[in-house]
Amino acid sequence: MKKRIISLLLAAALAACLCACGEQQAADGGSLRLYCPADLSEQNKSAGGGDAVQGIAIPWADITAGDRGRQQQAQYIMELLLGGCTAEGFIAPIPVGTQLLSCTVTGGTVSVDMSSEYDQLIGIDRTIADYCITLSLMQLDGIYAVRLTVA
């Protein structure tokens, strides 16, 4: 059962990533999807279940403001994921108190190092947080991989 859930999450993450890739190419500037855990509280559950991850639209103009390069864009996305996003429905995937120790772009890879508070996440909660970070950062032009480390 556990393997089935993980397989379904991986398939959903791949589908979401493929769908999101086209968004940055929109003629009007489009939007980035900032991924976060879905609200699965009792009042928000549907009869047939729901997605574990949701995307919140963030205008590309916010991501690229002030002529930010990829390094600064990745840093900004991580700041949003750490709780800086104020959009309605956003749920921070990263535990409160977690700090971003470093976020560097080398070639097509973003390397993210989080403080030890990130290790509070275990099991599916850790998987969902990793997906949210990866799916959000993979939308940046020329990014093909994300490396996550803790301290």
Q: Is pLDDT above 80 for 26?
A: no
User: What pLDDT sits at residue 94?
Assistant: 96
Average pLDDT over residues 66-89: 94
β strands within the chain, DSSP E: 31-37, 53-59, 100-106, 109-114, 145-150
Q: Sheet with 145-150: list strands edge to edge.
A: 100-106, 109-114, 145-150
H or E element, residue 87: none
Question: Which amino acid does the sequence have at 84?
Answer: G
Higher-confidence residue: 96 or 40?
96
Q: Is pLDDT above 50 for 107?
A: yes
* DSSP β-ladder status, 109-114 and 53-59: unpaired
**Structure tokens belonging to residue 125:** 């909660």
Give the position of tokens 């104020």: 86
If pLDDT is split at 50, 70 and 90, which confidence band does 51 have?
A: confident
